[in-house]
């Protein structure tokens, strides 16, 4: 059951139809916290699964079918159905101001996506993404970055 008292939503936020904010106290002693900054747009069928801490900065745009999660269903006991096992200990997730999460992208536990980063469609982000970097693929890897001196996007590397 979602705990609305653990959700903080800024001003000017749009949450499109069928988005799911699952903020659940599933770990004893851990109070979940989901914060969505001002002027964000959360796409249709976006699923945010929070049992620890997820922070989405200001002016973040998520496309449809994005998944953001700070934990996963544990599977340590092979003799028990996953449904009956506890959640793994959550690791904080943060999405920086002005970032974009493309259609069908996945942001996994313990990941920070930097300011103005661009996560391409279908990317599975398993490690931090620096500010101003474009990532693609599964697992997500950097392909471009914003070069301040040249004032343009350049190939990564």
Active site residue: 16, 18, 73, 84, which one? Answer: 73
What pLDDT, on a 0 to 100 scale, did the predictor assign at position 137? Answer: 98
Q: What is the pLDDT of residues 11-50, one digit of tens each?
A: 999 999 999 999 999 888 999 999 999 999 999 999 999 9
What pLDDT, on a 0 to 100 scale, did the predictor assign at position 4? Answer: 84
Q: What is the pLDDT of residues 105-121, one digit of tens each?
A: 999 999 999 999 999 99
What pLDDT, on a 0 to 100 scale, did the predictor assign at position 8? Answer: 97
**Where residue 3 falls among pLDDT bands split at 50, 70, 90?**
confident
Q: Is 73 in the active site?
A: yes
Q: What is the pLDDT of residues 66-103, one digit of tens each?
A: 999 999 998 999 999 999 998 999 999 999 999 999 99
| 90, 109 contact by CB (below 8 A) | yes
Note the CATH architecture for domain 4-155: 3 Solenoid (2.160)
What is the domain partition of the chain in residue ranges?
4-155
Q: What is the mean pLDDT of residues 52-61?
A: 98
Q: Which parts of 16-140 are beta strand (E)? A: 20-23, 33-36, 41-42, 47-50, 53-56, 61-62, 67-69, 93-95, 100-101, 106-107, 112-113, 118-119, 124-125, 133-136
pLDDT at 2 over 80: no
pLDDT at 1 over 80: no
Strand pairing category for 33-36 and 7-9: parallel
């Amino acid at each position: 059951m979602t705990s609305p008292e653990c959700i903080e939503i800024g001003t000017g936020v749009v949450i499109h139809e069928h988005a799911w904010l699952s903020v659940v106290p599933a770990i004893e002693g851990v109070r979940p916290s989901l914060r969505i900054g001002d002027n964000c747009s959360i796409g249709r069928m976006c699923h945010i699964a929070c049992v620890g801490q997820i922070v989405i900065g200001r002016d973040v745009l998520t496309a449809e079918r994005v998944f953001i999660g700070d934990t996963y269903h544990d599977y340590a006991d092979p003799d028990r159905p996953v449904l009956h096992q506890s959640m793994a200990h959550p690791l904080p997730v943060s999405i920086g101001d002005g970032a974009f999460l493309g259609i069908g992208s996945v942001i996994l536990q313990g990941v920070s996506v930097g300011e103005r980063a661009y996560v391409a469609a279908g990317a599975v982000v398993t490690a931090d993404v620096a500010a101003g970097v474009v990532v693609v693929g599964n697992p997500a890897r950097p392909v471009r970055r914003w070069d301040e001196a040249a004032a343009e996007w350049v190939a990564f590397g």
